[in-house]
Amino acid sequence: MIALYQDSVKTTPVTASGDPVGAVVLTDGTVGEFIQATAGNRPIYRSNGTLGWLEHNGVAHTMDANYAPMAYPITMAIAVSGNSPFESPMALIQDANNYKQIYQTPDGWGYGNTVASSTTAVTAIAAGSEPFVIIVSDDGTAMYIEINGGTPATNTHARAFGTPTKLTLGSRDGAAEYPGNIYAALIINRLLTTDEKADVRTKMAAASGAILS
């Protein structure tokens, strides 16, 4: 379960479409709370009566959670839509030059390790496939990224894990990027089984309205 608050100290719950989001609390305790203490940098909660999402303005809307895994494997997944490209809706950050991120370019969705590294995997975006359910699997030897249940793109990599300190949703570490909407997100320190991955796809598609392959 998830609880949303308009402020970072969690005194005022989010109750309506258009409210700012200053804190996201995952009540299962799997990841620390996502916080945005600066009012102007808070994403906006939106709802159409069926679906709910966090709207990011592409300028500075971002939320951070303290999160410090120290080893592979990792799995990242996110359901997103918005103006293309939504450059970095999810990133695991060590510092400005060392991070693991899901990102979008005009060529497709990708997953990579650092700004300078060429160690990436990119899968093409099919026409009409938005919203997107993106799942990344990284075992430290190979990385896989799939979109909407399609065939994963893969690449080898041998980069050390590093020492990340936080997980960000929205613009990466407050950098100006592109606007977009986040419907659901997941990170876990293991690879998912085939059945678990199928369950994540199905639930994220239901949360976002994505059409799976």
Q: Report how far apart, in Å, the C-alpha atoms of 178 and of each of 26, 56, 80, 89, 158 are.
A: 26, 8, 12, 9, 30
Model confidence, pTM: 0.91
What span, in angstroms and rounded, lies between the C-alpha atoms of 86 and 82?
7
The pLDDT of 11-38, averaged and rounded, is 88
213 pLDDT more than 80:
yes
Q: What is the pLDDT of residue 199?
A: 96
| Rounded Cα gap, residues 65 and 125, in angstroms | 29
Specify the range with the lowest mean pLDDT, choosing from 20-29, 73-82, 99-108, 167-176: 167-176
Q: State the average pLDDT over residues 175-183.
A: 78
Predicted confidence at residue 136, as pLDDT, reads 94
- pLDDT for the residue 196: 96
> Please, what's the b/e burial string for 77-108 (b: 16 or more CB within 10 A of its CB; e: otherwise)?
bbbbbbeebbbbbbbbbbeeebbbbbbbeeeb
CATH of domain 58-208: 2.60.120.200
Mean pLDDT of 151-161: 83
Structure-model confidence comparison of residues 81 and 114, the more confident one:
81
Residue 176: predicted pLDDT: 60
Per-residue pLDDT at 180 exceeds 90: no
Q: Which of 103-107, 148-152, 193-197 has the lowest mean pLDDT?
A: 103-107
